[in-house]
Chain A
Amino acid sequence: MRCPKLLVFLAITASLRAENFAIRGATIHPVSAPDVPNAVLVVTGDRIADMGPKAAIPKGYKIIEGKGLHVYPGMIDSASVLGLSEIGSIRETQDFTELGDFNPQLRTIVAINPGSEHIAVTRASGITTSVVVPSGGVIGGQASIVHLDGWTWEEMAVEKSTAMQMRLPSIEAGFGGRGGGGRGFGAARRPFAEVKRRYDEQMQQVRLFFEQARAYQMRKANPVLGFKPDLRLEAMIPVLEGKKPLIIVAEKERGIRDALAFAEREKVKIVLAGVREIDPFLEEIAKKNIPVVLPDLYQVPIEDDASIDEPLDIPGKLAKAGIKFAFGSYNIERPRNLPFQAANAVANGLSYDLALKALTLHAAEIWGVADRLGSIDKGKFADFILTDGDPLETKTQIKQMWILGNPVSLETRHTQLYDRYKKRL
């Protein structure tokens, strides 16, 4: 996998403009359609030009032999802090949580560090795209979609602003801690009446903020002399118009109920994220066609008496209910485990087909970029990986990756240290 010659080659070509090429003889897993064995995949510029058992390779195209290998679309991390966080314990390296309760004007895209070591590390697992989501307060800011390649955030951007992150006030948070088993140091419990009063006040503030935003929307439509744009409220307009979904993060039953009621009352489009206690709402979520971003599945069961399979069994439950969902890492440490989480979900009741789709096509559909991403189809971005097997298994090696038709290096901080210290043994 880490053939030095190949690396040198990739390192050089990565900086060049994409070269037209074709992969021949590999099994292609388009995800949008059944697998195609012994197929030809043709890439012109940054797009997939053709794909099929007998696709013609134009003259002058470089040919890559893929016999015995497999092509999958690049995977999508639907909730990450990639580029916004480098070292967990060091505050100076955290850029995803701003001060204040209502910050719809904040844009993740401008704070993504293209030099983050995490980008290459995530890529090495077969992930080519990441939805970068902020947090903090009630409205944390705007999520963006980026390619895991590029010299600048502008080059990385697929969508500079794709959704608005939000976390409603919660009664649980007032008690300190969100459960999660174990014997941690829970904050001291406060009287219920006090917590409830605070929660009601905060919910009132949220309603007021949305009212303000609506009033602003009307003022803006009929501006009077001296009308001054308000950056915070301006940023809410696409949400109010239903053009941009709210990503509402809610783990527990109360939070999910609040999120659904909120969406109903405010008539906004939502994506639910991080959901854990989902059972009572499966039918409603399915009926309303609300997509879901799964929680980080490498968490302990949410309560001491929760099933030993929780939260690994959540994807299976969502699938059974007919809800569309995608995987998200949330934590800077774990994006590279996303494919393995998907396989774990399969071991806990999800079909393999849907696991793969949730990492690719369904994620692209949820974020409205399925015209460009998420499957191996003619006209889509040439974002894919070449592997020696199922990319959800650890035994499989990811041989090569292309983003926008460019071969991308799979070298990481980790392979570099490995290669350097291997010599010292």
Chain B
Amino acid sequence: MNRRLFLASLATAPVLYSAGETILIRNAKILTVTRGRVDGSLLIRDGKIAEIGASVMAPAGATIIDAGGGFLMPGIVDCHAHIGSDAINEGSISVSSMVKIEDVLAPDDIQIYRGLAAGVTTSNVLHGSANTIGGQCTVVKMRWGKPASQMIMAGAKPGIKFALGENVKRAGGGTNFSATARYPATRMGVEDVVREAFNDARAYQRQRDEYQTRLAKGERVLPPRRDLKLEPLVEVLEGKRLVHAHCYRSDEILMLLRAAEEYGFKIRTLQHGLEAYKVAKEIAKHGAGVSTFADSWSYKLEAYDAIPYNAALCMKAGVLTSLNTDAPVTQQRHLLQDAAKTQRYGQLSDDEALSLVTINPARQLMIEDRVGSLEVGKEADIVLTDKHPLSMYAKVQKVFVDGEEYFDREKDIRNRAERDARRKALAEKLKPPPAPAQKKGAR
């Protein structure tokens, strides 16, 4: 813990431009993603984007930043990450909907800073994929240096992680049904776990509804016993909680869509969904989004039909599509480049490619009225790059979250010497004290 706090202190030099400050960024190529490109200035006031235009008057007292002809783009939204959390798999039971990422947020995880340095400003932090129903996820803003309570993106719609396929059934022991084997061990069993859970949730929901009805009639009834496992599933049934489902193969994707339809709820996103392109029509019809990888494949059997054209094909089918990292599985520092890969595989336009890591994931998380594009009124989550952000040669220079500067490349470089010196000083302290001088001939 001490080591982590020490590290955290190194990367949190005081911010240059702080909360609430009025900032005018001039001389920039502004890629709004939703409203084309504007060459000019962007004004930040009260943490929001106040104005975008070819020329914007600097209000009195505004701090002025010259972007030097660089590019401004919206802060990147990663729809699937496992950063900033101390534990992600409650590996005991296959329906662990009662557990919450919110309870294990680790704001001093260096991965937050690394993601931020690559332009990621919002992350959906999810449970792992050990369980069919993993637990409640949390959308965080990458406010590095702030306590966990201030990382959480207040007002973002709550979500829950589901998982299908190899990871879920692995605990079933595969072919050797050992003493520790856990149901399910097959994709058939995975469907059953989902249906059983929602069968229970529906019964619980009815029980609660009936209690409310009878209470309203003035009857004296005992409330049903509160069920923390089923409560979030009832929220799913009522459309109050978004389902983000880890999946790979087309059969299991279709299975989940049909199971959800049977119980009358929607799958918000299919996470990874590497074979989504095979059932893109069905996904579009259900209204689910797909959040996939750029070009990961072949690391396991269910990823053998993964193709880098998945995002392009899903988009073409009218599916709301994004790219995610699964960080630290792939890294947030390459998410922009992952978006750029859809230009090699699928020949997407600049705006289409950028939307995969900005406005589209924001829509999937239903926070698109707040982040995901550069538009007046939105939260000032902004990234400055030196070259076009879809170029492999681009480097993130500055990152703002809510109008506050959380990353500055020059400053990071300046701090490296100090960090190295402190590291060296610590290493010195670990060295054993010099042995006492020995007299000549004492041997």
Identify the A interface with B (CB < 8 A): 86-90, 117-118, 181-183, 298, 300-301, 304-305, 307-308, 332-333, 336-337, 340, 343-344, 346-348, 392-397, 413-415, 417-418, 421-422, 424-425
Q: In the complex, are the beta carbons of B111 and A182 less than 8 A apart?
A: yes
Residues of A with C-beta under 8 A to B304: 87
Identify the B interface with A (CB < 8 A): 3-4, 7, 10, 86, 106, 109-111, 113-114, 117, 166, 277-278, 280-281, 295-301, 303-305, 307-309, 313, 316-317, 328, 330-331, 333-334, 337, 340-341, 343-345, 347, 390-395, 412, 416, 419, 423
Residue of B114, B391, B393 with most partner-chain A CB within 10 A: B393
Q: In the complex, are the beta carbons of A88 and B299 less than 8 A apart?
A: yes
Could you list 17 A-B pairs, sorted by A, with CB under 8 Å?
Answer: A87-B299, A89-B300, A118-B298, A300-B111, A305-B10, A333-B296, A333-B298, A333-B299, A340-B341, A348-B395, A394-B392, A395-B344, A397-B344, A414-B307, A414-B309, A421-B313, A425-B313
Q: In the complex, are the beta carbons of B344 and A396 less than 8 A apart?
A: yes
Q: What 5 pairs across the A-B complex have the smallest Cβ distances? A: A343-B392, A88-B299, A89-B300, A414-B307, A418-B309
Residues of A with C-beta under 8 A to B166: 89
Our pick among B316, B344, B416 for the contact of A425 (Cβ within 8 Å) is B316
Residues of B with C-beta under 8 A to A346: 392-393
Residues of B with C-beta under 8 A to A298: 330-331, 334
Q: Give A118 to B306 CA distance when docked, in angstroms.
A: 13
Known: A89-B301, A337-B295, A421-B277. A392 touches B392 (CB 8 A): yes
With both beta carbons as reference points, the residue of chain B lying nearest to A301 in the complex is identified as: B114
Q: In the complex, are the beta carbons of A181 and B111 less than 8 A apart?
A: yes
CB distance from A424 to the nearest CB of B (A): 7
Q: Give A346 to B386 CA distance when docked, in angstroms.
A: 13
Q: In the complex, are the beta carbons of A87 and B300 less than 8 A apart?
A: yes
CB distance from B130 to the nearest CB of A (A): 13
Q: In the complex, are the beta carbons of A343 and B393 less than 8 A apart?
A: yes
Residues of B with C-beta under 8 A to A414: 297, 307-309, 345
Our pick among A117, A308, A395 for the contact of B333 (Cβ within 8 Å) is A308
CB distance from B349 to the nearest CB of A (A): 11
Q: In the complex, are the beta carbons of B343 and A304 less than 8 A apart?
A: no
Residues of A with C-beta under 8 A to B114: 300-301, 308
Residues of B with C-beta under 8 A to A89: 166, 299-301
With both beta carbons as reference points, the residue of chain B lying nearest to A397 in the complex is identified as: B344
Our pick among B300, B313, B334 for the contact of A422 (Cβ within 8 Å) is B313
Residues of B with C-beta under 8 A to A305: 7, 10, 110, 419, 423
Q: In the complex, are the beta carbons of B392 and A393 less than 8 A apart?
A: yes
Q: In the complex, are the beta carbons of B416 and A307 less than 8 A apart?
A: yes
CB distance from A61 to the nearest CB of B (A): 32
Q: Give A307 to B117 CA distance when docked, in angstroms.
A: 11
Q: In the complex, are the beta carbons of A394 and B340 less than 8 A apart?
A: yes
Q: In the complex, are the beta carbons of A417 and B305 less than 8 A apart?
A: yes
Q: Give A343 to B336 CA distance when docked, in angstroms.
A: 14
Q: Give A424 to B277 CA distance when docked, in angstroms.
A: 9
With both beta carbons as reference points, the residue of chain B lying nearest to A348 in the complex is identified as: B395
Residues of A with C-beta under 8 A to B301: 87, 89-90
CB distance from B327 to the nearest CB of A (A): 9
Q: In the complex, are the beta carbons of A304 and B295 less than 8 A apart?
A: no
Q: Give A337 to B317 CA distance when docked, in angstroms.
A: 27
Q: Give A272 to B44 CA distance when docked, in angstroms.
A: 50
Q: In the complex, are the beta carbons of A182 and B313 less than 8 A apart?
A: no
Q: Give A395 to B348 CA distance when docked, in angstroms.
A: 9
Q: Give A340 to B295 CA distance when docked, in angstroms.
A: 12
Q: In the complex, are the beta carbons of B298 and A347 less than 8 A apart?
A: no
Q: In the complex, are the beta carbons of B395 and A347 less than 8 A apart?
A: yes
CB distance from B328 to the nearest CB of A (A): 5
Q: In the complex, are the beta carbons of A332 and B331 less than 8 A apart?
A: no
Residues of B with C-beta under 8 A to A183: 86, 106, 109
Residues of B with C-beta under 8 A to A336: 295
Residues of A with C-beta under 8 A to B347: 397
CB distance from B76 to the nearest CB of A (A): 15
Q: In the complex, are the beta carbons of B110 and A181 less than 8 A apart?
A: yes
Q: Give A320 to B431 CA distance when docked, in angstroms.
A: 32
Residues of A with C-beta under 8 A to B305: 417
With both beta carbons as reference points, the residue of chain A lying nearest to B312 in the complex is identified as: A418
Residues of B with C-beta under 8 A to A340: 337, 341, 392
Our pick among A308, A392, A418 for the contact of B313 (Cβ within 8 Å) is A418
With both beta carbons as reference points, the residue of chain A lying nearest to B423 in the complex is identified as: A305
With both beta carbons as reference points, the residue of chain B lying nearest to A346 in the complex is identified as: B393
Q: In the complex, are the beta carbons of A395 and B343 less than 8 A apart?
A: yes
Q: In the complex, are the beta carbons of A347 and B393 less than 8 A apart?
A: yes
Residues of A with C-beta under 8 A to B419: 305
Residues of B with C-beta under 8 A to A337: 295
CB distance from A253 to the nearest CB of B (A): 12
Q: Give A88 to B298 CA distance when docked, in angstroms.
A: 6
Residues of A with C-beta under 8 A to B295: 336-337
CB distance from A185 to the nearest CB of B (A): 10
Residues of B with C-beta under 8 A to A301: 114
CB distance from B12 to the nearest CB of A (A): 13
Q: In the complex, are the beta carbons of B393 and A300 less than 8 A apart?
A: no
Residues of A with C-beta under 8 A to B296: 333
Q: Give A346 to B390 CA distance when docked, in angstroms.
A: 15
Residues of B with C-beta under 8 A to A181: 110-111, 328
Residues of B with C-beta under 8 A to A425: 280-281, 313, 316-317
Q: In the complex, are the beta carbons of A394 and B343 less than 8 A apart?
A: yes
Residues of A with C-beta under 8 A to B4: 304
Q: Give A392 to B316 CA distance when docked, in angstroms.
A: 26
Residues of B with C-beta under 8 A to A347: 392-395
Our pick among B106, B110, B281 for the contact of A424 (Cβ within 8 Å) is B281
Residues of A with C-beta under 8 A to B278: 421, 424
Q: Give A340 to B343 CA distance when docked, in angstroms.
A: 13
Residues of A with C-beta under 8 A to B341: 340, 394
Q: Give A393 to B393 CA distance when docked, in angstroms.
A: 8
Known: A182-B328, A418-B313. A304 touches B110 (CB 8 A): yes
Q: Give A422 to B346 CA distance when docked, in angstroms.
A: 11
With both beta carbons as reference points, the residue of chain A lying nearest to B116 in the complex is identified as: A308
Q: Give A343 to B337 CA distance when docked, in angstroms.
A: 11
CB distance from B332 to the nearest CB of A (A): 10
CB distance from A289 to the nearest CB of B (A): 28
Q: Give A393 to B345 CA distance when docked, in angstroms.
A: 12
Q: Give A90 to B299 CA distance when docked, in angstroms.
A: 9
Q: Give A333 to B308 CA distance when docked, in angstroms.
A: 12
